A and B are shown apart, each in its own frame.
Chain A
Amino acid sequence: MATTSDKGKSVFASIDWLTILIYIALLAMGWMSICGACYEYGEPRDFLSLASFDTRTGMQLVWIGSSMLLGAIILMTDDRIFDTFAYVLYAAMMLLLLATPFLAHDIKGSLSWIKFGSFSLQPAEFAKFSTALALAKFMGTYGFKLKGSWKNMAVSNFLMLLPMVLIVMQKETGSALVYISLCLMLYREGLPGFILFLGLSAVAIVVVGLRFSETPAVGDLLTLGDVLVAVMILVFVGCLHFSYCRTYTIREAISEGSATGSVQSIRRRRRLYIALFAIGAFIIHLSASTLVEHLADHQKNRVYVLLGLRDDPSGVGYNVIQAKIAIGSGGLEGKGFLNGTQTKLKYVPEQETDFIFCTVGEEQGFLGSAAVLLLFLALLLRLLYVAERQPYTFGRVYGYCVFSIFLFHLVINIGMVLGLMPVIGIPLPFFSYGGSSLWGFTLLLFIFLRIDAGRQRLLR
């Protein structure tokens, strides 16, 4: 007879402590970075002064404490409520998102913050876990198959696109883009690989084509961008041809049955598709360069700055330059806790939020920043492992959502700070200052841990 204590015990025992350990380590390093970013030159350096509530470092401690409390509460709930209330939560959250622009007050052009007394909350940060839950619930229904079902595909996409649209309406494009990452989860659940491939290659062709559109290669006729795009298309076509028109065709022809046609006709059809791909890629390249040419000057400039073609030391380019200087000056071991000069003297903009990784780079050096990256990698791989061990699609889909969201934040945020990605303002999980994002990520992660902790009981 299972008593409450038995149940508590079993849940407690099946919690994935490794993830919690990584979570706590990230929080600790995150708080150190906040100290580095918010510390004012000449202030006392002891813990009590840093933890004082009238400073940002102290406030962040409050957010960290409340997040851990929140995590603990979630671990003590019944995991079935997430399944049960997934749609309700989703609907409520979408309504909140819809209402937010009307309730919000303008912060630097963003309409995503709702004020409660002296605190502000950003509902968009909480839409992530509810969307993930709704997706998990929908895709976890019995007999659900993504592949081959247009209806399933459409509903999944709708669940993802709705918060995106609502968040774009709050002028938080960065946060909206996060939902694109859920395609990775869809891929795991059966989204054909070539769709991801098409999407990524389109991005690659546009970026490469524009990035080198000002370097002449063949006289005045072709730019280096044109040449590189042509090479890329050839390589893609070669790869596609290799994987779809050679070894597999015969086997697949047999498995599909020869009713539809011979190996030859399958090959012919696929070659046609590959040719279409090449033509499409070429059209995308041409239209991207033409489009940019016809943009208004300031818009064109912005695109070029994003691609690193124009120096813009006072605008977006300034952030990236200063970020690189801060990180680059860290060296192997960094300048030490609270000793960074670039961050202390406010050379890096947004340094306690989107550019928080600069503090890690400057004060902890290569060793510290590589350690943070490896810690995130450990978290991601652990999430994959835990997601794969879920007995039900619900848990797995939710797990992959968590994985995708964390991966996206990591890639975009650190890539931006390192100058490898365009400047898109999204926080670095557990590092960036602020309660909303910390609570949001904690909820996202701990709901998954709670679902995972219940895996054995549900099997019984």
Chain B
Amino acid sequence: MTNDDYSLSRRKYVLGAAAVLIVAIYILRLFFLQLTSDEYKARADSNAFMRRIQFPARGVITDRNGKLLVYNQPAYDIMVVMQEQVGVDTLDLCESLGIDTAWYERRMAEIKDRNRNPGYSRYTQQLFMSQLSVAEFSNFQEKLFRFPGFYIQKRSIRQYAYPNGAHILGDVGEVGPADIEADNYYRSGDYIGTQGIERSYEKQLRGIKGSEILLRDVHGRIKGRYQDGRFDVQPVPGKNLTLSIDIELQKLGERLMQGKLGSIVAIEPATGEILCMVTSPTYDPRTMVGRQRGKRHKELSMDPMKPLINRAIGGTYPPGSTFKTSQALTFLEEGIISPETAYPCSGGFHYKGLTVGCHGHGSPLPLVPAIATSCNGYFCWGLLNMFSNRSKYGSVQEAMTTWKDYMVSMGFGYKLGVDLPGEKRGMIPNAEFYDKAYKGSWTGLTVISISIGQGEVTLTPLQIANLGATIANRGWFITPHIVKEIQDEELDPIYTQQRHTKVSPHHYETIVNGMQRAVEGGTCSAAYTNDYITCGKTGTAQNRGHDHSVFMGFAPRENPKIAIAVYVENGGWGATYGVPFGALMMEQYINGHLSEASEAKAETFANRVINYGDYVR
């Protein structure tokens, strides 16, 4: 009954071997798919997981007295997923958002342009429109179901309690491609501090983004949270900052500087804390939020008065006579003069045919009255004697280098290191500079104007204020800074360490005497008050146009609470604007308010306008 052909039964091995071979190939294939690469795992995750970013609240900012300066307000971003938005009624969408179709087309093209939007993907949310107000948003939200692929992301935008301090506070804006490139924390559409402390303390203020991992099915529907949120990350709110700014002082400063160009900087000498940093012209930070920011920013950047520049740290000016204090200190420490040394001044400094003019005062006169009357002749003689002292320095170059080291030790010529972006270093010339400029043949006489804060020397108003603080401290300062406290974090140690100048403290007492004398019967007599002893020094800085009005001072004389620099461009004599502004600011800070008379004075000054004509700097 069997039809067996036994030679055929060998064929079972062929068939068995075929089955074994195929299973082996398949297992090998599984091995390669499952064990050798993470590509499929990544693709599965990008299929199924939707990472929803949760934005932390940005840290709030208060002044030194706890007054709220900057806080957050809800705003809504419209996001779009290109892959999902196919078939949306464009007209309806534009109408609901109050935009026109041309804007829509342009924005869609922008989103898809990988040069402008490097993080573009068809499958992820892209920023379509940012910072809708609550009212604009609620109108859109009602219709949201009609626009698949469009999502709403809650954000917060900055809001400002005062119209003041725009340059200190800075602002936040959308990240650019360079920011994304530099720090992979950022994604397209994120915000970043672009100016002021928003920028310099970005890392503290921004907090840490959180994320929710949601499960998304093949149709894009959210099915729930992955593993009940076990892998979700809560956002960490940004750290709050307490500024050293006194907002009332800042307000007064800005009021006084209305209609004028320049800057007022006040520092607490003992701590290096900046009490106010006024720059003029300024703008209202409240106009720089939301969707009008771009337009407003453009307007300001086109303004010939350059209101976006923070002149307190980004403007470099000849310090004028305020600089004489630093010269006196150098000469004393170097033994060029003693407090008793008297130099003649007959209407100025006359030597070898060179004249530096001066105003009427007794002659010859020693150091203290020289400071009080701001005698040009005295400091010219001092510098000339120092730079021509071959026995001490060997050469004028060596003398210049010594001089420069003193200046640098007082915080000039280099950035002080304030915690704001945009600081300039100013200019302290050195021997190489003059060797180059005068081809090696120059003397103390050639550079004599640096002794009175003219010529090549330039400082920022912050550096001038810091000079005041250094004198107030009798020889040291702490790097000026604007952030007093960071929530749960220590300040950078550079803002707590004393930096000593090369001049001994006892020489400072002489200068303090001179500055007190200037207030009590010298150039700064308008700053005199019965309440406390004020020390001050005027400056009248020559330039191509009308002179700049400068004041540098501190008060009270013992345990000083405030050191200040006032710089009013083209304001004329130091006594014209500098002294009264300085006096008013010190009164406001020390007394906490202005007396009635002072208030009237402040109002008068606030209304004064300096005509700058076709101002172009």
- List chain A positions with a Cβ less than 8 A from chain B: 41-42, 139-140, 142-145, 147, 184, 187-190, 193, 322, 324-332, 341-342, 344-347, 361-362, 365-366, 369-370, 373-374, 376-377, 380-381, 384, 387-388, 391-393, 400, 403, 407, 410-411, 414-415, 418, 420
Contact = CB atoms under 8 A, between A and B. Distances in A.
**B31, B39, B44, most chain A CB atoms within 10 A:** B44
Interface residues of B, number: 44
B35 interface: yes
Given A327-B40, A329-B41, A366 B5 contact: no
B12 A345 contact: no
A384 B12 contact: yes
Given A411-B22, A415-B26, A331 B8 contact: no
A344 B226 CA distance: 12
Closest 4 CB pairs of A and B: A328-B40, A329-B44, A341-B48, A345-B217
B11 A326 contact: no
A411 B25 CA distance: 10
24 contacts: A41-B224, A187-B11, A187-B14, A325-B43, A327-B34, A327-B40, A329-B41, A329-B43, A330-B34, A331-B35, A341-B44, A341-B47, A341-B48, A341-B49, A342-B44, A345-B215, A345-B223, A346-B218, A347-B47, A366-B30, A384-B15, A407-B18, A414-B26, A418-B33
A327 B2 contact: no
Nearest to A406: B19
Given A188-B11, A325-B47, 7 more contacts: A143-B3, A190-B5, A331-B34, A344-B215, A345-B223, A392-B1, A393-B3
Contacts of A184: 15
B4 interface: yes
Given A324-B40, A403-B15, A332 B33 contact: no
Contacts of B2: 391-393
Contact of B30 (A377, A403, A411, A418): A418
A142 B1 CA distance: 5
Interface string B38-67: 011101110111000000000000000000
B56 to A, nearest CB: 28
B39 A328 contact: yes
B26 A188 contact: no
A332 B35 contact: yes
B31 A420 contact: no
B27 interface: yes
A147 B4 CA distance: 12
Interface of B: 1-5, 8-9, 11-12, 14-16, 18-20, 22-23, 25-27, 29-31, 33-35, 37, 39-41, 43-45, 47-49, 215-219, 223-224, 226
Nearest to A365: B34
A332 B3 CA distance: 49
Contact of B34 (A144, A328, A376): A328
Nearest to B16: A384
Nearest to B25: A420
Determine the main DSSP class of A at the interface with B: helix
B413 to A, nearest CB: 62
A173 B30 CA distance: 27
Nearest to A188: B11
Contacts of B29: 418, 420
A376 B27 CA distance: 12
B28 to A, nearest CB: 10
Contacts of A325: 40, 43-44, 47
Contacts of A139: 3
B217 to A, nearest CB: 4
A139 to B, nearest CB: 8
Contacts of B39: 328
A358 to B, nearest CB: 11
A381 B218 contact: no
Contacts of A415: 26
Contacts of A373: 23, 26-27, 30
B19 A41 contact: no
Given A188-B12, A345-B223, A388-B9, A328 B19 contact: no
A366 B29 CA distance: 10
Nearest to A404: B15
A189 B395 CA distance: 115
Contacts of A370: 27, 30
**B29, B33, B41, most chain A CB atoms within 10 A:** B33
A326 B11 CA distance: 38
Contacts of B41: 328-329, 331
Contacts of B1: 142, 392-393
Given A342-B44, A346-B217, A374 B23 contact: yes
**B12, B31, B224, most chain A CB atoms within 10 A:** B12
Given A329-B41, A373-B26, A418-B30, A345 B48 contact: yes
B12 to A, nearest CB: 5
**B18, B23, B29, B49, most chain A CB atoms within 10 A:** B23
A329 B46 CA distance: 11
B487 to A, nearest CB: 39
Contact of A377 (B9, B19, B49): B19
Given A325-B44, A347-B47, A407-B19, A41 B223 contact: yes
B35 A342 contact: no
Contacts of B48: 341-342, 345, 347
A428 B537 CA distance: 96
A71 B199 CA distance: 77
A420 B43 CA distance: 20
Contacts of B14: 187
B8 A190 contact: yes
A386 B161 CA distance: 89
Nearest to B11: A188
Contacts of A187: 11, 14-15
A414 B30 CA distance: 10
Contacts of B224: 41-42
A42 B11 CA distance: 52
Contacts of A361: 30, 33-34
A48 B430 CA distance: 90
Nearest to B227: A339
Nearest to A376: B23
A355 B40 CA distance: 17
A330 to B, nearest CB: 5
Contacts of B22: 407, 410-411
Given A345-B47, A347-B48, A327 B30 contact: yes
Contacts of B223: 41-42, 344-345
A198 to B, nearest CB: 16
B43 A369 contact: no
A392 B2 CA distance: 5
Given A328-B44, A347-B47, A415-B26, A366 B8 contact: no
A193 B15 CA distance: 12
A362 B40 CA distance: 11
Nearest to A377: B23
Contacts of B27: 370, 373-374
**A325, A344, A388, most chain B CB atoms within 10 A:** A325
A420 B28 CA distance: 12
Contacts of B35: 331-332, 366
B11 A328 contact: no
Given A190-B8, A377-B19, A381-B19, A332 B34 contact: yes
